[in-house]
A and B are shown apart, each in its own frame.
Chain A
Amino acid sequence: MSEPVLSVRDLVVEIPTRHGVLRPVDGVSYDIAAGEILGVVGESGAGKSMTGNAVIGLLDRPARIASGEVLLQGQPIHQLQGAALRKLRGRHMGMIFQDPLTSLNPLLTVGDQLTETIQEHLDLSASQAHERAIAALDEVGIPAARQRIDSYPHEFSGGMRQRVVIALALCAEPELIIADEPTTALDVSVQAQIIALLRRLCRERGVAVMLVTHDMGVIAEAADRVAVMYAGRLAELGPVREVVTQARHPYTAGLMASTPVASQGQKRLRQIPGAMPRLDAVPAGCAFHPRCERAQARCRQAPGPTLQACDGRAACWFPITHEQEATL
């Protein structure tokens, strides 16, 4: 395989507070190849959005990258700041957020925002940029793009607005797109449209996509590989089909089993006892051990399991093997 578009190595994000240093992201490593969608899934507080923000350099102070590397096509970008970072964003990395309204300027027409971004990153004349903006809107499936390019964001519906955001993220032809809960605010029917659009663009343009979401269903449909996060760490990383159907980390397995679909026909849902620990009270050893029915003495001892220390798929000393799964 060729060099990955994005390579994250042992990324640690820290937030110093008066109660001590919190680690919302703690030693996360993964690659995304061109044309691949990596789904990053986890419950609230798992550190999934923080990982995405760290990659694009959008951490709010006082959060900071404490150690680790972020490589974009082999070039380290985690130490870039200011103008260099802004140049990188847009040109090489596009962003799609949950609420399309916050990522669009309400006072500028959609066309102005697109041409501005295009001209900032690509060496094109005004009219060329205009044509390109129309092509970008066309590509994300906005009907009558040539007429609608002079509309303001509020004149679009929610789904169409999210398409505009995607066009904006794509218009300078970046190699990497980071989509943070891109469909959470949308209705089911529109969500399906947006997922289909993301998949098509990823396939046709060979963009690497990091899809951050809490919705396992969205991940299962859209992603090629999935990274499951728990308390700032990677719990499991693997091809989506294997992770969903043959989860090896007990947390992933519990997560899958507790969705109402999985327990179809049963009176009660499977449930994981307790809740994700707060960042100031992450237990020693494996962060999941207080909620885990498979936990043994080793799970309580530091250092906790990591993907590298285990089998590379699940960060668990005692992963569920496929034979056990069959008997469950």
Chain B
Amino acid sequence: MSALIRVENLVRDFDVSKPWLNRVIERLPRAKLRAVADVSFEIEERSVYALVGESGSGKSTIGRIIAGLIPASAGRVVIDGVDIVDQGGPDAVRSELQMIFQDPYASLNPRWKVRDIIAEPVAVRGERTQGLAEKLLEQVGLSATDAGKFPHEFSGGQRQRICIARALASNPKIIICDEPTSALDVSVQSQVLNLMSDLREEMGLTYLFISHDLTVVRHMADRIGVLYLGSLVEEAPRDRLFDAPKHPYTRMLFDAAPRMDAFGREVDPPKGEIPDAINPPPGCPYHPRCPLATQICKEEHPAPRMIGETRVRCHHAE
């Protein structure tokens, strides 16, 4: 098996400075927010790679860089042998890559008919779209007659199916799924997740699955990367990660996630909140909340190291 997507030392900074005039008057320096800090990982063909993390972890930013929606500040993103950061932008791999978004209400143009929405990726390239939308609608479990309707006539789950149909239209190899079910109800979520699993098998798709929901990630992913403040703190195959989490942050996440079998659980909740990404703590970004933290954690950002199949960025993990 070969890596279909290779991300190397990816960095993305956002300029969050105040407007020029305010900076001059208030004598403020330019402010930078490092949303993605030195992230590297590989996604095997026909696998599901999941990025998990809380808000501000940079998981959506990574997805949008790979999709070519925003440029990287540094590093390399190689998709199917083409470096989209260096070699002329994402146009070269555009038809191989598609995306499913979080909000099924905002991701469909309310003024367009479903037929035109689904066929857009093909129509943009000037190719024939006759009957395409109808075929795809049936493939995602809707009816061909829905093609003439407008998005507002559908429920959230049905809209997400339409988004999936649109993503499939250009016959992509890779689909980036950015929180595809977090706006959906549980019973609808299971329908959409099952559909995504089925389509992956049928069409040999590769998914980059971005989510904050550990249960969904555990169900879908083959390999999981855990992000904290833009850093990939731990990466491992699914079972390995859930059976033996190495990084203290991963352990905290697992402990804090609500469980269906934890009636009236009395545990000490985790301490603290995610720090401000504009002024991140020095050294390991997790050290202010970490129970294992020592002096070295405050000074030095740990380099990734392998423990068995797990790659972890922690001075003290073992």
Contact = CB atoms under 8 A, between A and B. Distances in A.
A and B touch in the complex (CB under 8 A): yes
Interface of A: 43-44, 157-160, 187-193, 195-196, 199, 214-218, 220-221, 224, 240-241, 244-245, 254-256, 258-264, 267-273, 275-276
A269 B157 CA distance: 16
Contact of A220 (B54, B155, B261): B261
Which 7 residue pairs spanning A and B have beta carbons closest together?
A217-B258, A43-B185, A258-B190, A260-B219, A269-B190, A187-B54, A192-B256
A246 B268 CA distance: 28
B240 to A, nearest CB: 15
A256 B270 CA distance: 27
Given A43-B187, A188-B256, A271-B194, A260 B263 contact: no
Interface stretch (B66-74, B124-132, B210-218, B301-309): B210-218
B259 A260 contact: no
Contact of B193 (A44, A260, A262): A260
A260 B188 contact: no
Interface size class of B (residues with CB under 8 A): 35 or more
Given A220-B261, A259-B215, A263-B219, A214 B54 contact: no
A199 B267 CA distance: 12
B32 to A, nearest CB: 20
Contacts of B218: 260-261, 264
B274 A269 contact: no
B262 A221 contact: yes
Interface string B243-281: 000000000110111111111110111101110000000
8 contacts: A187-B274, A189-B252, A189-B269, A192-B257, A221-B263, A244-B260, A258-B187, A269-B219
Contacts of B189: 258
Nearest to A259: B186
Interface of B: 54-55, 155-158, 185-191, 193-194, 197, 212, 214-216, 218-219, 252-253, 255-265, 267-270, 272-274
A111 to B, nearest CB: 22
A61 to B, nearest CB: 24
Contacts of B54: 187-189
A226 to B, nearest CB: 11
Contacts of B190: 258-260, 269-272
A189 B270 contact: yes
Contacts of B270: 189, 192-193
A269 B194 CA distance: 6
Given A221-B263, A224-B264, A271-B191, 8 more contacts: A187-B55, A188-B212, A196-B269, A217-B259, A217-B260, A220-B263, A255-B186, A258-B186
Candidate in B55, B187, B257, B269 with the most chain A CB atoms within 10 angstroms: B187
Contact of A221 (B191, B253, B259, B274): B259
B273 A158 contact: yes
A44 B157 CA distance: 12
Contacts of B259: 217, 220-221, 261
A275 B186 contact: no
